[in-house]
Amino acid sequence: MNIIDYGRYDHVRPLRWTGEALDLLDQRVLPFDVTYLACRSSDAVAEAIRNLVVRGAPAIGISAAWGVVLAARAVQAASGPEAAARLEPALQRLNAARPTAVNLAWALARMRASLATAGTDWLQVLEREAAAIEAGDLAANRAMGHLGAALVATGSGVLTHCNTGSLATAGFGTALGVIRAGVAEGRIGRVFATETRPWNQGARLTVWELQQDGIDATLIADSAAAHLMQTGQVQWVIVGADRICANGDTANKIGTCQLAIVAKHHGVKFMVVAPASTVDMDTADGSRIDIEERDPAELLSARGMRTVAEGVRAWNPVFDITPHGLIDAIVTERGVVERPDATRMRVFSES
């Protein structure tokens, strides 16, 4: 496959391994403060994942892999299997940091598998595996970008939700990677991004990230999405996923499902873009997914200042489920599944 060099649209990196620490770009303070947090232990990585210093399913998985390497630095063991037993508590703590993102468990499973047959060089084996997970994600993102952009007609307007770009991955991004590729190929004429309350990942991260790459984007309130589609300004909604089920149902940032419903009503196409590692063929449908809920206080304040009267209660689910019947295409680095259902998704269990 002939993939265009998209380097001019890919400048941001959310994490960097220094050899001694995992430096994470603190996404809680963007866009006004560009600061890296140095994590020198696996527990520090787990805390950073839990507290949204790093977010986005692929970036979480990559961070967890490097967290295993950090945990391994403190372990004395003669072989990989011996090290695996001693490292398991640290891996469990990493796995518990964000339960919905399947990439986290997937990356930890790869690290476990690499230990299972390792000898005395098990620490080097872990470091190579973590580096391979990171490099593989970047390559997959560029492949997805090319595949997804090919579905978009020249001159289209697109809407994206949350942040699915370089900040959420090893680089380039998933849904935002399709948008980057579409802009580079001259297919996408207009880009809109939702604020994505309550953490405002679209407002704080997505439009900032696109700005760094010279891509013009227009920010809208979450509640303006239906009107935007009604006016005919977008032809595609392009989003990511934290988990894709065997029938094509997807879990993604809260608010995704309502975008899919409105898109269906207005005849706007709906694309989900995620690495194949996000596909969970062991989960039959979206009803089986454990939806993470965060502190209701996140809805009651903004930037540390309370915005709601005392005594008001809040409910704060972080993800929702988009039924497969609302999805026009699922794009992974392995290819495109159009009109996904349990039959068409079998390609992931057969490959």
Enzyme catalytic residues: 242
Half-sphere exposure of 296 (CA within 13 A, CB side): 7
How many other C-beta atoms lie within 10 A of the C-beta of residue 47?
Answer: 15
Token pair, residue 114, equals 């690499």
Q: How far apart are CA 73 and CA 36, in angstroms?
A: 22
Which spans in 75-223 are helix H?
80-95, 102-116, 122-149, 175-184, 201, 207-212
The residue length of the chain stands at: 351
Torsion over CA of 22, 23, 27 and 31, rounded to 10 degrees? -160
Q: Answer whether 333's CB lies under 8 Å from 181's CB.
A: no
How distant, in Å, are the alpha carbons of 204, 248, 255, 270 from that of 221? 13, 28, 12, 19
How distant, in Å, are the alpha carbons of 27, 66, 68, 73, 132 from that of 20? 21, 10, 13, 9, 18
